[in-house]
Structure 1
């Protein structure tokens, strides 16, 4: 597999560098607002404008050229190397036997130019991801398959048979849009924006200062939710699940099941009426662009959740896994779940019946939340530490909580407002498991 040093695609600097050109055009426009149209298209001012813009463009192109010229990569039998930088040189490498997955990303500029970026997920879980940007899309897929052993490095080598990856989940556009409207924060935000807009139209000029940042913040949140669910698919692969999504910027993530540290299933208030859930995971070395947790299903029904759980966490430590999963995302004390006692009702009047936990032979399952209900799944061998939670009101009612911490994100197990003695017994049993693992 030894190769000489190769350069990335010549158009790579323009994928993100086009913002510099747009910035120059904006500066030009702001500094010529007082000019007439005739002055912009003719006369001595046009000469100096064209001269200055041409000089700036030449400088930008020179910078782009050197940025492309000094960005090179090399693939050997054991490593992949990426060198970049003009003034400050950067040399990164990754061992091929430590590469867990290679994700493919296409920002908007890259999609327009038909390019793609490779992101190497290495086994040490480092957040400093090795990136190779940018290659032709077909070349990026070919290089990824070659490194992962899915494609021969030489034409004379036999091509292995690759089974088709079964589709585990897909998010239809109507469901995605409905899920956005049925989220309380977005509903409240839309109502506030509409009320402020009406007040502004009726002559209340002072509300404009609050309307603009609120509308921008709400719009950014809605776009993020749409982008993470647009054309979303989750397919099974040998090592776990491969997800693909994106509106303007497309992403493909590989989620190795062996590196999943914790799983959280979320059901907002109005979603529960339709049987919809969101699934997020803590994964070492694989991060989403927006959050610490990685969404493996933005919105889906119970069947899709069950299929994904069967891959990400195939052993729940119980025989009737499907029934236990159903109880975990709903409520009740069936199948061995231990709920909060009735004396927790004054502290959590809307949630105490839903709260509970189950410690199986392999996993700690915990439920909590009121308007938005959450169920967390933390394998015993993934627990990094525990925390005792007990406020003054809980002490008076002999209630306590236990937090289970793990790596790879901010999902945690949370045994909320359970009996104090039960919490102590659980911590002792869990501590024993941590010592024995």
Structure 2
């Protein structure tokens, strides 16, 4: 059984990147990137060669004995060794020359119409990103750039385009360029004359300051990983690998060592990705920055948030820690892994609820504090929540008591419980695409159904399962009615009103 209600709320986006207008180069001030940019191609080549050599060595050690491989290398002779080194050196030189030529023809300009970008030697590319298509502007630093105290200005475009990456530039230049783009974008949106200031000196002015609202300390991050099941699984895998290495010898233990190295690398990668996570209130939204070896940053405009989820893994309950993630339209958050949608990776209850208020100021209820307590900690039906019936315990024995849904003036709120985690999900009325009602074979026999709110992006799950059929139908039609009214009102908070409310 299924039911479907179309309720599209967004038209197809226009292409964000368009051919640049015919403007003479002499009338623009073109800027080149730092010379360190040309090192990237050469380093990528060497990394590719290293991967090939490692794969060849791994296969050789698997097929042959280690002594046979060593004898083979020793018999090659010094001449072949010099030939191989010469080939690698030649490839490195060619890659460096190619990178230098590419760097020479790559440049950008900031104009009153937008950002222009030129690149290419044989195939020329000239792109124009208009001010009204800019979604976010952030500064990112990969590992090499961080060592050189440089970075890249990443400009995301609305409509799901690729945007532009302007770099490498010095860290001060990145901050200055980011501020200049934000100021110009705001002037264009307000209909004012765009004035491009001198951004080469860098630095943030007092008007463009960013207020810190969250910082993940190393102690909390380390403790959150220590109490997670992944660490226990890693320790057991490590112990098993060491035991097998002791019992085995030679190349027979090599695959086990590689598996152990991969597991350790995943732990280090997860730790480094969340390291020093900081969230700021910037002029254009909520800006999050994190990273140990390389720093990445994302900006979430509050007006483009479609859904918010706050959930708590079972092993964090004694600490009352929560994770907050969002679904945002036309953003990098949709196209990458789910972790990229996480704004607060390890937050206290107060921090998570404050960020919820920053992103969604109105819950659509008269007593928001009591409503949030019931949403996060409650169970069973209440005056607001329609809960899953007792017969749903056969399909969800651990979480059926907490599973519930309600429709407020501004959003549909879902409460979900389970063995491993519990969560609350809030979907704004004016951002879902359509509504659906479904039931599987076992749900039909039990008189149950699922309510699904379909969206452009699905970072946050938007389905409430195992409700009584009559309750699911009533919620479906109530959401359709309230959602239509909300779209007609078109009551959306402007970025200026958001800044005044949160003090950004």
TM tier, smaller: 0.7 to 0.9
Structure 2 SS opposite 1:215: helix
Divergent runs of 4+, >6 A: 25-33, 204-207
Say which of 19, 25, 31 aligns to 2:44: 19
The Cα shift of 1:144 comes to 0.8
Say which of 341, 352, 359 aligns to 1:312: 359
Q: Unaligned stretches of 5+ in structure 2?
A: 1-26, 58-68, 187-194, 199-203, 488-504
Is the CA contact 1:367–1:376 (under 8 Å) kept in the aligned structure 2? yes
Is 1:279 the equivalent of 2:358? no
Say which of 135, 149, 155 aligns to 1:100: 135
Is 1:229 the equivalent of 2:264? no
Is 1:5 the equivalent of 2:30? yes
What corresponds to 2:148 in structure 1? Answer: 113
Is 1:138 the equivalent of 2:186? no
What corresponds to 1:258 in structure 2? Answer: 303
Q: Unaligned stretches of 5+ in structure 1?
A: none
Q: Which structure dedicates a bigger proportion of its chain to helix? A: 2
Is 1:153 the equivalent of 2:196? yes
- CA RMSD after TM alignment: 3.2
How many residues are paired up? 430
What corresponds to 2:431 in structure 1? Answer: 382
Say which of 87, 109, 132 aligns to 1:74: 109
Q: For 1:346-357, what aligned pairs fall within 5 Å after superposition?
A: 346-357=394-405
The Cα shift of 1:57 comes to 3.1
Say which of 424, 427, 442 aligns to 1:393: 442
More displaced 10-residue stretch of structure 1: 106-115 or 49-58? 49-58
Is the CA contact 2:241–2:257 (under 8 Å) kept in the aligned structure 1? no
The Cα shift of 1:12 comes to 0.6
The Cα shift of 1:417 comes to 1.1
More displaced 10-residue stretch of structure 1: 302-311 or 113-122? 113-122
Q: Deviations over 1:163-207 (max 9, x none)?
A: 643322111112112212333344334423433432342349999
The Cα shift of 1:25 comes to 6.8
What corresponds to 1:412 in structure 2? Answer: 461
The Cα shift of 1:315 comes to 1.0
The Cα shift of 1:58 comes to 2.4
Say which of 366, 379, 388 aligns to 2:414: 366
- Higher-RCO chain (CA-CA 8 Å, sequence separation at least 6): 2
**Distance in 2 between residues matched to 1:207 and 1:345, nearest whole Å:** 48
The alpha-carbon distance between structure 1 residues 340 and 52, as it changes in their structure 2 partners (threshold 3 A), is: closer
Q: Deviations over 1:367-411 (max 9, x none)?
A: 224112222111011111222231222222211111212224431
Is the CA contact 1:318–1:360 (under 8 Å) kept in the aligned structure 2? yes
Structure 2 SS opposite 1:148: helix
Structure 1 SS opposite 2:477: helix
**Distance in 2 between residues matched to 1:346 and 1:46, nearest whole Å:** 68
More displaced 10-residue stretch of structure 1: 387-396 or 287-296? 287-296
Q: Deviations over 1:251-271 (max 9, x none)?
A: 121111001111111211111
Q: For 1:101-250, what aligned pairs fall within 5 Å after superposition?
A: 101-124=136-159, 126-149=160-183, 153-154=196-197, 161-162=206-207, 164-203=209-248, 208=253, 211-212=256-257, 214-250=259-295
More displaced 10-residue stretch of structure 1: 162-171 or 348-357? 162-171
Structure 1 SS opposite 2:128: strand
The alpha-carbon distance between structure 1 residues 398 and 139, as it changes in their structure 2 partners (threshold 3 A), is: same
What corresponds to 2:6 in structure 1? Answer: none
**Distance in 2 between residues matched to 1:243 and 1:110, nearest whole Å:** 19
Structure 2 SS opposite 1:228: helix
TM-score, normalisation: structure 1: 0.87
**Distance in 1 between residues matched to 2:151 and 2:39, nearest whole Å:** 13
Is the CA contact 2:41–2:96 (under 8 Å) kept in the aligned structure 1? no
The Cα shift of 1:217 comes to 4.8
The alpha-carbon distance between structure 1 residues 302 and 5, as it changes in their structure 2 partners (threshold 3 A), is: same
The alpha-carbon distance between structure 1 residues 28 and 382, as it changes in their structure 2 partners (threshold 3 A), is: closer
Is the CA contact 1:280–1:296 (under 8 Å) kept in the aligned structure 2? yes
What corresponds to 1:297 in structure 2? Answer: 344
The Cα shift of 1:424 comes to 0.2
**Distance in 2 between residues matched to 1:53 and 1:123, nearest whole Å:** 43
More displaced 10-residue stretch of structure 1: 202-211 or 406-415? 202-211
